[in-house]
Structure 1
Amino acid sequence: MVDLSALRAANANRFAQAKLTRAPEFAPVARRLVAAKTRYQPVSARTGVPWWFIAVVHERECSQSWRGSLAQGDPWDHVSRNVPRGRGPFKSWEDAAVDALVACAPFAARNKDWSVGGTLTKLEEYNGLGYAAKGRPSPYLWAGTDQYKSGKYVRDGVYDPNVVDKQLGCVGLILAMMRLDASIKLGAPTANDNAPPKTVNQTGQVVTPPHPDSAPATPSITRPAPGSIGAWIASLFKKAA
């Protein structure tokens, strides 16, 4: 079992020290992701997940292909064959992305910890916690930074400590994107921080239960319903006062 609290602390500490070692490779990808901000924002609005988090996952899972699902890169207009299997087909890339964030592990739409450590650990969960179990930094996050040297799962369950991951890690992508868009801030609260968790109903629609704070107050003696006899009596007392 991986201690997620310890992993969040470790990832936050690594982030504070991280420096890009392949900056020229990150820059063009970051520009491409930031250029699609308006495409990611509607999905963010529907799920509460920051748009740049969605962009980074999209790049890692399918090189930002708009034909590939955010969940695993399979075509979103077909039933997925890779894990998570059996998702779709969907009407659009956006619908597939919402499903991936709301209904598929690691359930990013349920995340309430968008601190540096919380955000990076949620990203790491997309690739699995095998590296954390070994006490090694995950290349999914750290490839292309000075926090990662070598070590990679070359296939399911097979770890080679000498292989270097050539893909660009999530942290380097985020750092490069932050240089282009000042609105990207790890640790900043999202608009939906206090919203209840979202679920998907049987028709595939996202359902958000009413927040307790938004429920109308129950009429009482001190809070009579508008237009009621109680409200009329209350108005008489106000006039008398």
Structure 2
Amino acid sequence: MTDLNALTRANAKRWADARLTRNFTAVARRLVAPAAKARYQAVAVKTGVPWAVIAVIHQRESSQDWTGSLAQGDPWDRVSVHVPAGRGPFCSWEEAAIDALVNCAPYAARNKDWSIGGTLAMLERYNGLGYASKGRPSPYIWAGTDQYVSGKYVRDGVYDPNVVDSQLGCAGLLITMMKLDPTIKFAGAAAIAPPVVPKPQPAQAPAAKTPASITNPAKGSIGAVIANILTAILKGK
């Protein structure tokens, strides 16, 4: 049986160490787009699951297809055939999403730990704990980062250590979404500071030149020549 506290700690450490190895920007931009965000927020209000978590589940389960259920990607307007099977039909994507989060394992709506480690552990449970039982980082979470190299369940119960998951993982999506939308925050996740733009320095006025005079003749002038002659005479005394 997987130790969920250990999994939470492991994923928090991986988050702190992670570096992206693929480009997440285009997909993350779609997930935080105002129209999509509003729909995710509507489900978040009903379930207590952060909207950004709902967004990355939607991407992983159905590539953000609004005709696909959040539970497993099956069309929500008919009875689902993949696990969890037998759900639906529903009247809308939102209704199906609420059912997936409230009534289907791992019952994300019951989760109380939305720190970054707890969030990633919940997302891993959403996909299954097979990777954790092998001591391997889940590609569902870490694909596209340096925390994942290879290994994937190619079908139920069949693990191939050499297959590389081509989908983008939840962690990299969240990292990129947080850069695009600073309202997304998780306890324990380092805040993403905006770039520091140096303030323009006021232009310094050139130093005022002392006007030429008898005591300060202009360089190369007759006065300067005479001053040099007098200086030489005085030194010769």
TM-score, normalization by structure 1: 0.76
* Equivalent position of 2:127 in the other structure: 127
**How many Å separate the matches in 1 of 2:156 and 2:46?**
33
Any idea what the Cα deviations from partners look like across 1:44-63, whole Å, max 9, x if unmatched?
00111100000000000000
Q: Which amino acid aligns with 1:98?
A: I
Count of residue pairs brought into register by the alignment: 186
1:61 lines up with 2:61 in the alignment: yes
**How many Å separate the matches in 2 of 1:8 and 1:71?**
22
**Alignment match of 1:27 (pick from 18, 25, 28):** 25
Note the C-alpha offset of 1:126.
1.3
**How many Å separate the matches in 2 of 1:82 and 1:42?**
25
Query: Identity, % of aligned pairs?
Result: 73
* Equivalent position of 1:47 in the other structure: 47
Any idea what the Cα deviations from partners look like across 1:98-135, whole Å, max 9, x if unmatched?
00000001111000000111100000011110000000
**How many Å separate the matches in 2 of 1:141 and 1:161?**
16
1:174 lines up with 2:174 in the alignment: yes
Q: Which amino acid aligns with 2:121?
A: T
Larger Rg: 2
1:148 lines up with 2:140 in the alignment: no
Secondary structure of residue in 1 paired with 2:153: strand
**How many Å separate the matches in 2 of 1:37 and 1:52?**
8
Long gaps (5+) in structure 2 = 189-237
Any idea what the Cα deviations from partners look like across 1:40-97, whole Å, max 9, x if unmatched?
1110001111000000000000000110110011111111111111111111110110
Q: Which amino acid aligns with 1:32?
A: R
Q: Which amino acid aligns with 1:110?
A: R
Please report the RMSD computed on the Cα atoms of aligned residues, expressed in angstroms: 0.9
Runs of 4+ residues over 4 Å off in structure 1: none
* Equivalent position of 2:137 in the other structure: 137
